[in-house]
Structure 1
Amino acid sequence: MSSSTHKTVLIIEDDPDIRHLLGIRLKHAGYEPIKAANGTDGLRLVHERRPALVVLDIGLPGMDGWQVLQRIRDVTTTPVMILSARGLEAEKVRGLQSGADDYVTKPFGHQELVARIGVLLRRATDEGEPETEYADPRLQIDIRSRAVHADGVNVQLTPGEFRLLLALIQHVGQILSPEQLLELAWDDPTTTNTSRVKFTVLRLRRKLGWDDPATSPIESVRGFGYRYRQIDSDLAVASQG
């Protein structure tokens, strides 16, 4: 894959002014912006151009941004940043639960937006990640290929979910606060929104099939945070029975 492919950013936005100005900002920052004015064209470009990141407006005509996000998540773990005029917490929570990696409300500062895009792209690459594997009775991870198997089942994770899981297994047995997980998994100094951690943990548990608190290796420690606990073979077998 060429370096330009790594820097391709797809903007799916129906407002021509926002689409144009954001494209200029991204180009000046060294990215290759590609643009779509609706969800159908955006999904076509996702398949044809395989962008490194998607900036997605929620209020699209026809197929709205929620539908586009779902279809993107059906086929790829490419980072998705939502743009929306809807600033209610419930909307932000919905976006993060649906698989978005960031949620930015309009109006937004272009410099901050480009900085956030840089953070997402940096975290989505393999730079600095050890080429190794992790395995215990419940979980196997090939960190280089990002392949995850939970209880023998292959699981597809978004980049944010994978980074969170990686942060937890790299600190087995250690309680990590939401603030620590924000730093480890997102490296985003512009936010203190710890609800992002909460809902990513919930989504991660659901995907891994670890909804039962009694047997889930991802443990919530009330008032402190989360930790990954290695489950012994007997409990692992019991949880699958």
Structure 2
Amino acid sequence: MTRILVVEDDADVATVLRVLLTRAGYEVLQAEDGREGMRRLFDAEPDLMVLDIGLPGLDGWQVLERTRDMTDLPVLLLSARGAEADRVRGLRAGADDYLGKPFGHEELLARIEALLRRAGPARWAGAAQDTALRLVPERRSAVWRGVEVRLSDIEYRLLQMLVRNRGRVVTTEQLLTEVWDDPAGLGRDRVKFAVLRLRRKLQQAADRADPPIESIRGLGYRYLPGP
């Protein structure tokens, strides 16, 4: 059974999430604060985490940062704050999706289903490579200019999609549909920040050498094949 870790300090919201997810067929693990959430993450190895930002003590931002140091687990952020700045900060920090409170029950379940579908390994198991870059599917990493770079699941799928279509522009809408399973195109910022994170990782791995990912204003992105 798919395990979902809910890290939420509001008892009423936590109860709603537990009932909703249990009825949907998930096994639900719960934590009331960030430190307990990290312990349960380490002990139980869930398939997805629903994480509230406004936690006591170790807040959601810190939990997200530490989670990304440990695992590529899909993370859905929840927050009562509807400000764009919080959404942008969450996406930049590596969250896979963001949902404001109050949230619709059906929307929450749909977003969780999409995150779990994206995390499935089979669709993205194939290797892809170019002159200076090789993808390693069994480790979800890339070897760029001879240096292996660890990638999140999203970053790996994004890079694989671009390399598979090297030399051609892949639109933001195509990336949302294929990588994020978001055919409605409602999360365009996710693409921009994922590309920024990916480029930064590749640059840091190879003495600041620019990775061959080109932004095409108003359209999308293109991987430039090596000579």
What TM-score does the superposition give when structure 2 sets the normalisation length?
Answer: 0.93
Supply the RMSD in Å over aligned alpha carbons: 2.0
Are the equivalent residues in 1 in contact too, given 2:177–2:185 (CA < 8 A)?
no
1:114 is aligned to 2:112: no
1:22-48 deviation line (CA, Å, top 9, x unaligned): 111111111111000000000001110
**Paired residue secondary structure (2:128):** strand
Report the counterpart of residue 179 of structure 1 in structure 2: 173
1:152 is aligned to 2:109: no
What TM-score does the superposition give when structure 1 sets the normalisation length?
Answer: 0.88
Q: 1:217 aligns with which of 203, 212, 220?
A: 212
Q: Structure 2 stretches of 5 or more lacking a match?
A: none
1:122-154 deviation line (CA, Å, top 9, x unaligned): 11011333x432222321112244232222222
Superposition misfits of 4+ residues, deviation over 6 angstroms: 210-214
Identity %: 50
1:38-74 deviation line (CA, Å, top 9, x unaligned): 0000000111011111110000001110000000001
Q: Structure 1 stretches of 5 or more lacking a match?
A: 233-241
Are the equivalent residues in 2 in contact too, given 1:217–1:228 (CA < 8 A)?
yes
**Paired residue secondary structure (1:162):** helix
* Shift of residue 190, structure 1, vs aligned partner: 5.1
Are the equivalent residues in 1 in contact too, given 2:140–2:153 (CA < 8 A)?
no
**Paired residue secondary structure (2:89):** helix
* Shift of residue 105, structure 1, vs aligned partner: 0.5
User: Number of paired residues?
Assistant: 226
1:79 is aligned to 2:61: no
* Shift of residue 179, structure 1, vs aligned partner: 1.3
Q: 1:138 aligns with which of 132, 136, 158?
A: 132
* Shift of residue 102, structure 1, vs aligned partner: 0.3
1:211-238 deviation line (CA, Å, top 9, x unaligned): 9999421111223210111123xxxxxx
Are the equivalent residues in 2 in contact too, given 1:116–1:188 (CA < 8 A)?
no
